[in-house]
Every structure is written in structure tokens, then in C-alpha cells.
């Protein structure tokens, strides 16, 4: 389990089985597995893993982002528990090419990089934007975000606004409402736009996926990184040719 997370700590404290804690930030005696010397190298990551026995191994992960290093550390611990050596795990990890809709590069348009990601809650939105900053330093990051469910958007309104404000520009699409009232969805989206602007963010509200495609066609600039984020159908947006 990830060290430093109160929710998982509550669950782990009730577990009847042995629990091993891992972390890329916490450094105390409660942590069994650690990742240190983390570097974002091009579109990937390099880091050193230290096991509970003190053995260490440099790992290379062909996907970027500190959150992916944390995910990899959990997988490394699980593989080790199954009897796989750190050297073999390192060989396996080197071949990983990511998963669909997780920082998936959809292509280039007029020199702008278009990336699709399933991020649909504030923590994931922040992590994806930060990953773009690390993988493409100095480039303008534009987020097109399709909120998923009115109730989630309302409940996490302030958190969404703060995370979206990390981008250089934010394009908000209609909420993927999943059987919820369309009028309430429209009001909630307007509130999210206003809350995000309160964080000194540059925010536009779009009307549809077609509007997003047209906006890309009109506004994409060489060197931009456009993140298409959300758990609805934003991944079906037709990219301009």
C-alpha cells in the first residue's frame, strides 16, 4: 500500500494478511519499498528501487510521470512477493509501453502534441498536467476536460478548479452526465468555469466534441501540448486533419 495515504492506511490496519508499504516520498521505518533518484528522461522515467532486504536496482520505465513511478513500485513489490528477481523485473519493466487512455499520444497537429488520458478526478487531473510539464518542459499545456457526472463535479468542485488551473489554458466540455438532469449539468459546468477562473486561470466553455475539434483546428500552436481528459467519450473527438 502507498505510505502516507490515510485512506489506505485505515484499510491496511484492518487487514488480516501481511502488509508492505511503498513510497516515492516517505522515508521512514514504516516503508518497505522505496523509489529514489527519480528522473524524468524524455518520455519515460528512471529510478532506483530499494527492497525491504536492502537490495537495490535501477529501473527504466518507458512512460513518464511520478505517479507512474509509484504505480510501478507497487507492481515491483507484487512481482517480488511472487518470487521474481529485481533484475528480471527491470527487464520486464523496460518493455512496458503504457496502456490505452493513459497519457496516450494520439498524434501531432500543426506541431502540437495531442494526448488522451482517462483522468476524471482532481488528483489524476493534477498528476497528468504535472506529467506533461515534466515530459515537455517549457511548452504550453492546454487541457480540454470533460467532467464525468454532475454529482462528482459538484462534490469536488473546489478541487477540480484548483487542479485545472495548473494548465496554461483550460477548455471545459459539457458534463458527461450519465442520466443526470441536463439543466443541472449546465449550471454545474458554469460554476466550475467560474471557480476555475477564480484561480487566475484562462478558461473557455465549449459546447460539444465538434466544438473541441474546431477549437483545436483554430487555436493549436506549434509546441503546444493538448491534454484531452475525462472518463466519458472525449476520446472519440475527431482530430482535425
Q: Are residues 10 and 33 in the same domain?
A: yes
Predicted confidence at residue 3, as pLDDT, reads 65
Could you tell me the three cell numbers for 93? Answer: 519493466
Contact 136, 168 (CB under 8 A): no
Q: Are residues 163 and 71 in the same domain?
A: no
Could you tell me the three cell numbers for 90? Answer: 527491470
Q: Flag whether 129 is in a domain.
A: yes
Q: Are residues 108 and 215 in the same domain?
A: yes
Domain end call among 61, 94, 127: 94
Between β-strands 44-50 and 56-61, what pairing exists: parallel, antiparallel or unpaired?
antiparallel
Could you tell me the three cell numbers for 33? Answer: 519499498
Residues in the chain: 241
The three-state (H, E, C) secondary structure of 9-35, written as one string: HHHHHCCCCCCCCEECCCCCCCCCEEE
Residues of the chain with pLDDT under 70: 1-5
What whole-number distance in Å separates Cα of residue 51 and Cα of residue 76?
Answer: 9
- Name the domain count of the chain: 2
Residue 121 DSSP class: S
Q: Are residues 164 and 45 in the same domain?
A: no
Domain ranges, residue 157: 104-236
Please tell me the pTM assigned to this model: 0.85
Predicted confidence at residue 136, as pLDDT, reads 93
Domain end call among 94, 118, 152: 94
Between β-strands 225-229 and 141-145, what pairing exists: parallel, antiparallel or unpaired?
parallel
Amino acid at each position: 500500500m502507498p505510505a502516507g495515504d490515510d485512506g489506505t492506511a485505515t484499510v491496511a490496519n484492518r487487514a488480516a494478511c501481511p502488509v508492505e508499504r511503498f513510497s516515492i516520498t516517505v522515508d521512514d521505518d514504516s516503508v518497505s519499498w522505496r523509489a529514489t533518484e527519480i528522473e524524468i528522461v524524455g518520455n519515460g522515467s528512471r529510478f532506483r528501487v530499494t527492497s525491504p532486504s536492502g537490495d537495490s536496482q535501477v529501473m527504466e520505465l518507458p512512460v513518464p510521470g511520478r505517479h507512474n513511478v509509484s504505480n510501478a513500485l507497487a507492481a515491483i513489490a507484487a512481482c517480488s512477493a511472487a518470487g521474481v528477481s529485481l533484475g528480471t523485473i527491470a527487464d520486464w519493466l523496460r518493455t512496458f509501453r503504457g496502456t490505452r487512455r493513459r497519457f496516450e499520444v494520439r498524434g501531432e497537429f500543426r506541431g502540437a502534441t495531442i494526448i488522451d488520458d482517462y483522468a476524471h478526478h482532481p488528483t489524476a487531473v493534477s498528476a497528468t498536467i504535472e506529467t506533461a510539464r515534466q515530459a515537455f518542459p517549457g511548452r504550453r499545456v492546454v487541457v480540454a476536460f470533460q467532467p464525468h457526472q454532475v454529482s462528482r463535479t459538484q462534490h469536488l468542485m473546489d478541487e477540480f478548479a484548483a487542479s485545472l488551473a495548473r494548465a496554461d489554458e483550460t477548455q471545459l466540455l459539457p458534463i458527461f452526465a450519465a442520466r443526470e438532469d441536463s439543466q443541472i449539468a449546465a449550471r454545474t459546468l458554469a460554476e466550475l468555469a467560474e471557480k476555475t477562473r477564480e484561480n487566475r486561470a484562462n478558461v473557455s466553455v465549449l459546447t460539444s466534441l465538434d466544438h473541441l475539434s474546431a477549437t483545436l483546428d483554430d487555436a493549436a500552436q506549434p509546441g503546444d501540448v493538448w491534454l484531452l481528459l475525462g472518463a466519458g467519450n472525449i476520446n472519440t473527438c475527431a482530430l482535425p486533419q
